[in-house]
Amino acid sequence: MSGPVVVLASRVRTEEKRVLAALRDRGVDCAHADTRTLSGTPAGPAGDRPLVLNREIGQARAAYAATLLEAQGSVVVNAAAATEVCGDKWRTALALRQAGLPIPRTHLALTPEAALTALDELGYPAVVKPLVGSWGRLVTRVSDRAMAAAVLEHVAALPSPRAHIVLAQELIDGGRNIRIVVVGGEALGATWHRAGEWRANVARGASAQRLAPRPDHAKLAVRAADATGAEIAGVDLIEDAEGRVHVLEVNHGVEFTGFQEATGVDVAGRIADHLVARRSDA
């Protein structure tokens, strides 16, 4: 593939700046493109097609941008299929389970009323999640049926029909939340998240602490990324009180600043190296 490497994002955050700098350090012709200016047809223009690193923060735009660019002949990392799977918590759970990987017990409920029944089967405490969302937003821990009914009443009042489809999941508690970044089939390192509440998202104030990755954890993370089709991923693992590990999520647009600072791993550089290799192979 002879075209440039394009970093696609509507917001150029620290991660995107680091990747662009790493590409330039390697002598790669690269540029940023804003998804808010993107339009096109399925056939696309003639000429060289760029290799695209999809860093769009909005899930809908990320997925549709990837399908558009792939239809026009570009190679997109992560691919449209992986973006769609990772961006939907149910489809992620389905892909992980079909790959034989351990996940928390999970129910898909097509209405808030069905979610209440699912939670009765799971038992309390449990977790209610929207299909799409990041940074722990709208993820709610419900301690009993009365609390679940109150939360689901609010869910039923949301305007979007898709918002009424609920993921009900068992609460895994007592262990650590672990993040492993995977690039090109390799686990780069691990952190665990110290938080003041049960949601251990760095975006919610949790701090990333370096963790020596266990080989079985690294292998599990690589398998999880592979199951979703993600070449670049942040894989979230969670331990229970007995030390058993479950795959919680696979993030296709991983935010790696906290991870990089905690581990000292040059994630941006590793991503750049992967893109250079993909560009040569395409």
Q: 5-86 architecture in CATH?
A: 3-Layer(aba) Sandwich (3.40)
Q: 105-170 architecture in CATH?
A: 2-Layer Sandwich (3.30)
Distance between CA 126 and CA 142 in Å, rounded? 5
Give pLDDT tens digits for 74-130: 999 999 999 999 999 999 999 999 999 999 999 999 999 999 999 999 999 999 999
pLDDT of residue 14: 96
> Does pLDDT of 47 surpass 70?
no
> Does pLDDT of 203 surpass 60?
no
Give mean pLDDT, residues 135-149: 87
Q: Do 5-86 and 105-170 share a fold?
A: no
Percentage of residues in the chain with pLDDT exceeding 90? 78
Give pLDDT tens digits for 216-230: 999 999 999 999 999
The residue type of 207 is S
Higher-scoring residue by pLDDT: 27, 201: 27
pLDDT of residue 1: 55
DSSP state at residue 73: T
Q: For the ranges 22-31, 140-149, 207-216, which has the lowest average pLDDT?
A: 207-216
Q: If we measure between CA atoms, which residue out of 83, 122, 119, 97 comes closest to residue 251? A: 83
Distance between CA 49 and CA 62 in Å, rounded? 18
Q: Tokens in use for 277?
A: 């290799």
pLDDT of residue 49: 82
pLDDT of residue 204: 45
> Does pLDDT of 198 surpass 50?
no
CB 51 within 8 A of CB 73: no
Q: For the ranges 47-51, 99-103, 198-202, which has the lowest average pLDDT?
A: 198-202
Q: What fold does the segment set 172-272 form as a domain? A: D-amino Acid Aminotransferase; Chain A, domain 1 (3.30.470)
Q: For the ranges 49-63, 106-120, 181-195, which has the lowest average pLDDT?
A: 181-195
H or E segment at 100?
none
CB 15 within 8 A of CB 257: yes
Q: Largest Cα–Cα distance in the chain?
A: 60
CB 267 within 8 A of CB 183: yes
Give pLDDT tens digits for 244-276: 999 999 999 999 999 999 999 999 999 999 999
pLDDT of residue 202: 52
Query: Is the peptide bond preceding residue 125 cis, with omega within 30 degrees of 0?
Result: yes
Catalogue the long-range contacts made by 156-165 (C-beta closer than 8 Å, 24 or more residues apart): 156/111, 156/112, 156/113, 162/131, 162/132, 163/130, 164/110, 164/111, 164/112, 165/90, 165/108, 165/109, 165/110, 165/111, 165/131
On whether the pTM is more than 0.85, the answer is: yes
Instruction: Compute the mean pLDDT over every residue in the chain, rounded to the nearest whole number.
Output: 91
Q: Tokens in use for 142?
A: 């419900």
Question: Any bridge partners for residue 108, and if so which?
Answer: 167
Q: For the chain, which residues make up each domain, given as ranges?
A: 5-86, 105-170, 172-272
Residue 194: band (very low, low, confident or very high) from pLDDT cuts 50, 70, 90 = low
Q: Which of 47-56, 190-199, 230-239 has the highest mean pLDDT?
A: 230-239
pLDDT of residue 174: 74
Percentage of residues in the chain with pLDDT exceeding 70? 92
